[in-house]
Structure 1
Amino acid sequence: MKRTERLHAMSEMLRRGGARGYTAERLAREFSVSTRTVKRDLAALANSGAAVWSRPGPGGGFGLVAGNTLAPVTLSPSQATALLAAVAAAPDAPYSDQAATGVQTILDVLDPITRERAVELAGRVWVNAVRGPTRAVQSALEEGMAAQRVLRVRYRSAAGARTVRDVEPVLFASTDGQWYLVAWCRLRDAIRWFAVTRIERASVTAQPCAGHTVREVGDPPEHARPAHGRS
């Protein structure tokens, strides 16, 4: 888990912990880091404006000041269930972990009756989604896209041939149930579509992308649209 993801997840855990809070040791176990790293992360959260409190001594710990949370949200049980179902059905989608955390944040601030009905209704929606790439690969692809940094990937073609390439991420695309990383391939000197399930390794380099745009990808597949839903 990248540090930015860990900081966000830690703030959500502290928020849900309420007045009882958590010890540094408990947080360290949860995120598989040292207590020293936890304390650095807590300091970073405080410096970013989060209202982190600490309580020394036996029974002490860390938490977030009450009220330092998302404002109340109004959703119907069906709307909340739709969010839960969409996230559960697409664990291979880009930023799916963050989406799951975001949906949980929304559920936490719903009124109790709506939340209870949404959870009950979601129990009537079953999904059997197969995970795609490993978390390490997915995290690298997400980071490279967001930061617009060159990615070094080991890619397996449909025929089974493996190559190591430096690619400049342009967009993620889903078509026919398959996710692709659409990127400028420095090996081929052209835009290429890489099936995410065939990316075996990925790392983010320090090199910035050269600025290739979505327009260079060409016409999107029929009925394709950006995730924000705007035309």
Structure 2
Amino acid sequence: MTDYVLVHGAWHGSWCWARVRRLLTAAGHQVFTPTLTGLGERSHLLSRDVGLDTHVADVTNLMAWEDLRDIVLVGHSYGGAVVRHVADRMPDRIRSLIYLDAFVPENGKSLFDYMPDGGNVMRQLATAHGDGWKIPPMPAAQFAVNAADTAWVDRQCTIHPLSSCETQARISGACDSIPTIGYILARGYDGPFGQFYAKAAERRWWREELPCGHDVMLDVPNELTAFLLQRA
């Protein structure tokens, strides 16, 4: 049995992992899908104090209190920044680190540093619709979510704290010492993630591609689960 910890991206929550969670559990594994503070069913906890550090603590605390070791840690989209910090702080507890169409920030860089517009659109949305510190959810169709799930995803997504995307990463490099590291790219979404996929090749991480939209776990849960089992 393997312990999996699956971390969602911006605006999402544990709900987005339900299909993959069921498949992994049916295969005999233990699966944790924490909802980050201020999102999903924990959206009532959102405040100006919630940011990237809070979300890193959400996952490190889960691992500590559940005494999880030898785990497979997966981060999707914004969750890539979260798991990178978690792996940097607790590398001895992680067997495999997987970035799923995710940000992989370098030390001193924020997520906005990797976006073509430097995050200007997100800041404008926060100013116009989020009191200057909250980013309203982007339409699911913009992330090439499959048509059958688009309306449901739009209903499920919640506001995300702007500061979490502006915070500079504090990485020592220990995260890159994990025994197995990989990157899965969603080929059906034209986002900013190709640069991290290319960097993964330079680092000699394993790489895979899937022909789907950004929410890989919703579009192709069976194929994604197969990769997670194979690469564990």
TM-score normalised to the size of structure 2? 0.23
Higher relative contact order at CA 8 Å, sep ≥6: structure 1 or structure 2?
2
In terms of fraction of residues, the more strand-rich structure is 1
TM-score normalised to the size of structure 1? 0.23
